[in-house]
Structures are given as C-alpha cells and as structure tokens.
Structure 1
Amino acid sequence: MTTALFKFLFFLTIIITPIAYHSTVQSASADTTDLQTYGQNSPPFTPSPDPQSHIFYSRGGFKVPYPTSKSLTTNEDFTLSVQAVRPRVLSLFPPTLTYSWWTSDNQMNWRPISNNKTGNLKVNTSRKGIKYYQVKAVYKNFVGFTTHGPYYSKIIKVTINEKPIDTEDLSIETSSPYLLNIGNSVLDNAIYATGSRNPEEATDPIIWSPVMIL
C-alpha cells in the first residue's frame, strides 16, 4: 500500500466516522426502546422505557405506576410523586439523583420549575384549568459527571375543576395477567393495577384495599 493511498483511506476514516456516529444517534432518537443513549434538550421529551428488573435493575427509568392523568378540585392538596431508578452497579461513591421539572399549559410551550430538584412536586390547585408536567432524572457522581440517564417521564396531565365530578364507570387494568410467586425473592414479583374511569375528569378518589387470595 502506497503512502498516498494510506493517507487517503485515513482521511476517509476521519470524515466518515463522525457521520456514522451522528446517524446512529439520530436513529436512537427515533427508537423509544433505548433512550438512555442520548439527551434531549427541551420538552416535550420522548418518554424513556419503563425500567427492567430481574435480580437487580438492568435498565433504569421511572418506576411504575405513577399518575399520567389526575383530576382534582380547586384548592385540593395534591403532590405529584415519581421515583427514578438506575441499573445496579458497584460503586464506592453512590451517585446523586437530581430531578428537573417542567410545566406547560398546552404541551407546546414549556417552562422549567426551578425551585424543585426532588421527585415530589406540590401542584398549585388554586385556579381552574389544565396543566401538563414532565420530569427528567439524572444520576451524577461526586465530581459532577453523569453516570446514568437522563431518564424522561411520561407527560402528566392535571385537570383542576371548580366542582367535584363523580365517576360513572371504572375499569381496572393490571400489568400482568398472572399471579406471581410472592415468596420468590429473586424475581420481580410485583403486579401493578391501575384504574381508568369515565369521565376522565372525575374527581372522586379511587380507594384500593388488599384482597386475601387463598
């Protein structure tokens, strides 16, 4: 191989590698199965997949369930609560978890909520209307470098009504159709149930109670 040919191939490598990397990132941005590989600049964020766990978490994200739609009455006390988790890794210095919240009136124009870096956000219910919220979670080490994430929640819709609205119909969905071995400490043995009601703006609470299965 001549020196000139070698230089030409080396030059092509320098040019093509960034283009291939850029193409990979663009493809990942359209793939909702692995959103932990890139960052999004501003909401609305494409939500990260739910975390996966076997013995430990193998993929991070926001633990389910958390509310994606909530209907309240004015001046009702309510706090949005989410919890991010990361893959389990050994570390001498556990990373710091920081949350960043955004809110919007129309899902197009978003503004940051600067005074809250936790997973709990007290919602202002003093005025009738609809608000949308989304949160990002990032794990950083003691020198400030990101170790896991960012993870992005689903958009959470909060409706504030002047008067209570009763539920007319309620349906229950579960995360699995099977009963799990609750005595197994190795596998993930949690099943989550969520309630969907009509009308969606109903404000009466859904009260859950344990059921003994023999």
Structure 2
Amino acid sequence: MLLAYPVLAVAGALTHRPIFPLLALVALATALMLPRLQSRRPLPWLAWLLLLAGVWLLSRHGLADLLLEAVPILINVVLACWFGRSLAGGEPLVARFVVAIEGVERLREPGVARYARQVTWFWTVLLATQALLLTGLLLFAADGGLLLRLGVTPPWLVPGRWVSAWLHVGCYLLLGAAFGLKYAWRRWRLRHLSHPGLHDMLLKLALRWPQLLHGNGGMPS
C-alpha cells in the first residue's frame, strides 16, 4: 500500500481525476495504521473509519487534492523532527542504524560515531529544508494554491505543473538521490572499514525497525 500511494498520487496529478487522490490518501492512511488494525481492537478501527469519513468530507468540498499535496510536507516534517530529536537526546538516529545493521562494536570504531552524528545532522537539515520548500510551493501554486483559495493574491506564482511534479515526484527522487550519495560517502569516509552490501543493509533495517524506533543504548561512552 505504501508503494501504491506515490503511484496513485502521480496518477491524480497527471489525470486530474479526484478518485486517484482519494485512493492515494486511503492507501497511505491504511498502510500507516495497519499494525494497529491487525490488533483487532475496536479503537484503531474506529479511528480508521473516522479518517475515511474525513477524507470523504474533504472530497465533497473539493479539498482532497490539497490534502494530498500536504502529505509530503507532513512526511518531511515528521522525519526531520525524528532525526533532530535524536541529536538532542544524545543518540543520533544514524548511530541506531549502525548498531541495528552492524552491531554496537562497529559504532565504537574510530570515526564511526562522529560520522553518524554528521549524517544525522545532514538528514535533519535536508528534510527541514525540503518541508519549507514544499510549503512554499503549496502556498504559491498558480493552479489552486492555498493563498489563491483563500482569496489572497501572492507576490509571485509557481506554475501548477512544476508544483505537482515536485510534490509527487521530485521530492521523493531527491531523497532517493541523497540516500545513494550518503551510501557512497560512507564507503569513502569509512573506507578503512568493511561495509555490508546495499541489499543486506536494507533487509536488516526492515527486520530491525522496532530497534530504530525505540533506541538501542549503543552509544559509546
């Protein structure tokens, strides 16, 4: 369902048919809530149904596309806060990644802890900057931007096709490119160490996701 979200979002941007933004929002909400829904408790199911009702009401008022365009902003804000809070807590998030993939001993090797803190700062700044950029695009879009919908004439307008292209495609390509560059930088910066392959790294991240969420206490003293 997470993979279906960007496909449906792009389909909505290209075809301008409201059914695709609605399905994209439903797919995203369901994917994020799926672990709680699988518990079969009534409260998560009630929240899911209320969320679907809210999406339907927004679509009735012609705001489903605006809500969909705000999703990438929310994603970047949440991720930026996640990385940034880990810096304040003394256990950089990238350090958790290192421990989850390669063990706590790798983090204690020379240069690795410093690298982890620097890369955590990199992701924090990149994600926060992109959230600001996406907010500006949403505000100043020439085709149904938020300011125009509120009756405010902005000092400049961004063509709608460029806004949609960046919101639904460009921002994700940027994150993918940044991840690839970060991986290459790691192999050069820590070239005195052995490194797991990209496939093994992603597999271990998927298997040890709860460890990343809750921390591991692996920071060297």
TM over 0.5: no
More strand by share: 1
Q: Decide which structure has the larger Cα Rg and report it.
A: 1
More helix by share: 2
- What TM-score results when the alignment is normalised by the length of structure 2? 0.22
